[in-house]
Amino acid sequence: MRKLRTIAGRLVRELERKLGNEAFVSHQALIENCGKVIEQKKTDKNKIYSLYEPDVACISKCKAHKKFEFGSKVSFAMVPGVNIIVGVKNFNGNPNDTTTLEPTLEQVKGISGIEFKNAIVDRGYKGKAKVNKTIIVSPKSPNQKQSYQSQTMRKKCRKRAAVEPVISHVKHDCRMIKNYLKGSVGDDINAFLAAAGFNLRELLNKIKEEILWLIFNVYKWPNQLAIIQIYKT
C-alpha cells in the first residue's frame, strides 16, 4: 500500500505540472479526488470509494453473506394492504434511519397531499414518537403493553412485513439494484423510475384481473341461460 501511494502521488503531481490550464480546469475535480484517495486512511470518515462516483457510501447490511454494500440509501413509503408506493426519497451518504423519517413523510405529503395519521416503522427508527401530526408506530417489547394493546399493536406491525418483498421486487424486477445513471441526480431518477415501474406493473395486473373476470362472466352467463331454458321446457 505504501508503494502504491508513492506511485499514485508521483503521477498526480506530474499531471498537475504537465497539464495545460484548460485541461487542468476540466479535470480538476478528478485530480482533487485522486489526492483525497491517496491521503485518506482506514479510520477516516466520508471516504471516497470510487473516482467516478465520489458520493458512493459504504452501508452496513448486517448480514452474513453480504456485510457491506456500496451505494446510497433509499427510503420507501407504502400504503399497507394495497401495496402502492406513495413516496421514494434518496439520501446521499449513510444517514441514520431516524433522520430519514421526517424528509420521507414530507415528500409523501407533497406528492399525495395527505398527512397520514400513523406511520408503521421497524425498530431501526428509534427516538421519535411523532413527526408533525403523524404518530410513529414501532414494535416494542411485550412487557410494556397490556394484552389488548399487544394484539392491536401486533396487527398494525404485521402490515409492515409487506415492505420487504416490495423493496425486493423493486430492486430485482424494476432494476433498482444497479444504477447506470451518474451522480446523485441519477440516483434520484433511478429510484423514482423503479418505484413508478412497480406501481404501473401493479396497475396492469389489476386491469388484467378485471378484464379476465369480465370475460369469464360474459362466457358463463349464456350457458346459465341455456340451462334455465332447457329446465323450463
Indicate if 80 and 159 belong to the same structural domain.
Answer: yes
The average confidence (pLDDT) of the chain is: 82
Task: pLDDT band for 145, please (50, 70, 90 cuts).
Answer: low
Indicate if 124 and 182 belong to the same structural domain.
Answer: yes
Per DSSP, 80 falls in state T
Indicate if 91 and 168 belong to the same structural domain.
Answer: yes
Residue 159 three-state SS = helix
Helix or strand holding residue 70 (H, E): strand 68-71
C-alpha distances in Å from residue 89, one per residue of 60, 75, 195: 19, 5, 11
Q: Summarize pLDDT for 22-75 with one digit per residue, the tens.
A: 888 888 888 898 999 999 988 888 889 988 888 888 888 777 778 888 888 899
Indicate if 44 and 79 belong to the same structural domain.
Answer: no
Indicate if 87 and 122 belong to the same structural domain.
Answer: yes
- What is the count of structural domains for the chain? 2
Range of the domain at 31: 2-48
Indicate if 22 and 112 belong to the same structural domain.
Answer: no
- Cβ neighbors of 90 (< 8 A, separation 6 or more) are 72, 73, 74, 75, 184, 187, 188, 191
Indicate if 179 and 92 belong to the same structural domain.
Answer: yes
Task: pLDDT band for 3, please (50, 70, 90 cuts).
Answer: very high
Residue 79 three-state SS = strand
Amino acid at 152: T
**Does 203 or 140 have the greater pLDDT score?**
203
90 in Cβ contact with 188 (< 8 Å): yes
In a domain, 26, yes or no: yes
Backbone angles phi, psi at 177, to 5 degrees: -70, -25
Distance CA 77, CA 198 (A): 13
- For range 165-183, the mean pLDDT: 88
- For range 216-226, the mean pLDDT: 56
